[in-house]
């Protein structure tokens, strides 16, 4: 009797993201007898939605039933679906984004796709909160003064850059894993939290949820801080443009840890230059890496991080737990956690 095969493609070139041996052992144990779990040691790339696959991965996928890796390169999919066997049944990506993974072959062959939304929620929420505090407490002013070796106490007295998050209003667009984690942290600091989501009004305790047509317009005028934590889809592309930024109160701060294409960067630059916005904390961009000639690099009220808000030493603690949970569900024929609806795009 031949063994069923699962392939792991998680040996990321970045050490902090590379799967540790303890996680490999836990996943192998979850599959149990009757399974061959192949952990490919060729370098993988989990940046963005995941990179291309090494030839060793493609070869291992021939006849494989399960793929667990960073992203889902088309050549991986084809290797498991070519010919009459079409063995692939479940593919899981160690990324939250799935924009480049929505291949038509998934639906054609009934392949279930899951992602890692939620596993990156805590560090991304903390990154967003750090960006908010950066501007709330005037750390941008402090960093500039430090670079000039200038004791800048008068800057605080003159322009009062320091505020308190307590009592301020945070509006979040997106209430998935990241949004929920950010909401809990913001509420703990005494913030009023408004959230816009695609449908449904359920949210964490104390969060005021708005949904449906007109929801965004309802929250923007109240937002001292606007956090974008939603995925990039056809519906969300360009969602925040000049009109939406103008609807924010003067002195508002925009934070984007979701997807760069959600925010009109030209409109953002205009709003920052005009002084309408206090600042912007950006981890994601329409084009990555951010081009050297982008004005965002030189604006004094912009904080840039290079799409690293999810980085954490604890990623594999949560990721392996998610995979082990889903392996059990898969073997029992149950619905998987974080199942992606391909037609919806997330």
Residue 47 annotated to the active site = no
C-beta of residue 104 within 8 angstroms of C-beta of residue 137 = no
CA distance 269 to 229: 20
| Bridge partners, residue 282, by sequence | 256, 304
Set out the domains of the chain in order of their start, with CATH numbers.
Answer: 4-119+312-332 (3.40.50.720), 121-304 (3.40.50.720)
pLDDT given for residue 82 in this prediction: 84
| Furthest CA-CA distance within the chain | 78
CA distance 255 to 245: 12
CA distance 98 to 113: 9
pLDDT given for residue 1 in this prediction: 62
Dihedral angle at the C-alpha atoms of 150, 156, 157, 161, nearest 10 degrees? Answer: 150
Half-sphere exposure of 65 (CA within 13 A, CB side): 12
Q: Which of 210, 259, 261, 319 is catalytic?
A: 259
Per-residue pLDDT of the chain (346 residues; tens, 9 = 90+): 689 999 999 999 999 999 999 999 999 999 999 999 999 999 999 998 898 889 999 999 999 999 999 999 999 999 999 877 689 999 999 999 898 899 999 989 999 999 999 999 999 999 999 999 999 999 999 999 999 999 999 887 766 678 999 999 999 999 999 999 999 999 999 999 999 998 777 888 999 999 988 999 999 999 999 999 998 888 899 999 999 999 999 999 999 999 999 999 999 999 999 999 999 999 999 999 999 999 999 999 999 999 999 999 999 999 999 999 999 999 999 999 999 998 788 8
> Where do the DSSP E strands lie in the chain?
4-9, 35-39, 66-69, 90-93, 112-114, 169-173, 192-197, 207-211, 225-228, 252-256, 277-282, 302-304
Reading the block at residue 115, the tokens are 């992602």
Q: Which of 75, 288, 317, 334 is catalytic?
A: 288
Predicted TM-score of the model (pTM)? 0.93
CA distance 68 to 35: 14
C-beta of residue 237 within 8 angstroms of C-beta of residue 260 = no
Q: Which of 103, 197, 307, 319 is catalytic?
A: 307
208: three-class secondary structure by DSSP: strand
Residue 307 annotated to the active site = yes
Phi then psi dihedrals of residue 132, to 5 deg: -60, -45
């Amino acid at each position: 009797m031949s063994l069923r095969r699962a392939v792991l493609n998680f040996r990321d070139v970045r050490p902090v993201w590379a799967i540790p041996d303890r996680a490999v052992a836990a996943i192998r144990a979850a599959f149990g007898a009757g399974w061959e779990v192949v952990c490919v040691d060729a370098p993988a790339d989990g940046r963005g939605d995941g990179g291309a696959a090494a030839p060793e991965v493609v070869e291992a996928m021939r006849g494989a039933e399960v793929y667990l890796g960073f992203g889902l390169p088309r050549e991986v999919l084809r290797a498991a679906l070519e010919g009459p066997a079409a063995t692939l049944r479940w593919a899981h990506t160690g990324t939250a984004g799935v924009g480049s993974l929505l291949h038509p072959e998934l639906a054609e062959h009934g392949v279930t796709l899951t992602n890692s939304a939620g596993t990156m929620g805590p560090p991304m929420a903390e990154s967003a909160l750090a960006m908010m505090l950066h501007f709330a407490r005037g750390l941008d002013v402090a960093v500039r003064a430090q670079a000039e070796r200038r004791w800048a106490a008068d800057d605080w007295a003159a322009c009062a850059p320091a505020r308190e998050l307590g009592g301020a209003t945070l509006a979040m667009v997106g209430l998935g894993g990241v949004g929920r984690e950010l909401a809990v942290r913001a509420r703990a600091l005494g913030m009023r939290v408004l959230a816009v989501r695609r449908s449904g009004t359920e949210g964490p305790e104390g969060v005021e949820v708005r949904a449906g047509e007109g929801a965004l317009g309802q929250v923007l005028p109240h937002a001292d801080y606007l956090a974008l934590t939603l995925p990039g889809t056809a519906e969300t592309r360009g969602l925040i443009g000049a009109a939406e930024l103008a609807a924010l109160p003067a002195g508002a701060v925009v934070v984007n840890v979701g997807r760069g294409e959600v925010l009109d960067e030209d409109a953002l630059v205009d709003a920052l230059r005009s002084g309408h916005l206090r600042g912007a904390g950006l981890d994601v961009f329409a084009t990555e890496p951010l081009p050297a000639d982008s004005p965002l690099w030189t604006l004094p009220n912009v904080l840039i991080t290079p799409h690293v808000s999810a980085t954490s030493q604890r990623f594999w603690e949560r990721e392996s737990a998610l995979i082990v949970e889903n392996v059990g569900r898969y073997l029992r024929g149950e619905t998987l956690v974080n199942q992606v609806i391909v037609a919806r795009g997330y």
